[in-house]
Amino acid sequence: LPYAVAHFLGYRRPGYKEKKLKLWRNCIWSFLGAWLSIGLLEIMFMYAPLFRAHKTPFIIGSYGAATTLLYGAYTSPTVQPPNVIFGHLIGSFIGVATSKLFTQTATHWSSAGQQQALVWVSGASAMALSLVAMEVTNTVHPPAGAAALIACVDKNVIAIGWYYIGVIMLSSTIILVISCLINNIERRYPVYWWKP
């Protein structure tokens, strides 16, 4: 790839020394990247007819944490591209599957307490299972644990079912692209694409 393109994918020429930015410059890039990432997701899910037709929530809460990591801790291993993409894929899949298994199989509950107990059991199970799956695949990404939990406890997310995985993957891709653009103006992201 031409260096101008490779630069925005985190590549640097041999002998490159990263300059230490002053705090105020780091803060400006972090604010800009986080604002653009969250704003674009909110606008897209709030106004696009396809997402409105599916009653998609206008933001998934775990993306607040994801953007915080992408701009505030962008050199951390847990926020490199494989972790962001595969961590969210694992978390959303396990979250939806666990939600369907625990809370959507029965239609008649002996009590409201029984239904409520299954919600917290499914949430705890989904989060714990997704953490183990991310550890096994070396793709730990903390917001992906939240994505698994949200799939079991948020009524709006439960209602969209398997469609949630597509929403999560699209959101992850968008914030990843924006972070490559913003973080590579004066900083470097990602540190690696596949392996450290």
Which pLDDT value is given to residue 15? Answer: 85
Kindly report the backbone phi and psi dihedral angles of residue 141, in degrees, each rounded to the nearest multiple of 5, phi listed first: -140, 105
pTM (two decimals): 0.89
- Alpha helix locations (H) across the chain? 3-7, 23-47, 49-53, 62-72, 81-103, 112-137, 142-153, 155-160, 163-186
Which pLDDT value is given to residue 106? Answer: 61
Question: pLDDT means per 10 residues in the chain (196 residues)?
Answer: 88 86 95 97 94 90 95 94 97 96 71 75 95 97 96 92 96 96 94 84
Domain ranges of the chain: 23-184
Which pLDDT value is given to residue 17? Answer: 85
Are 157 and 171 contacting, i.e. CB atoms less than 8 angstroms apart? Answer: no
Which pLDDT value is given to residue 153? Answer: 92
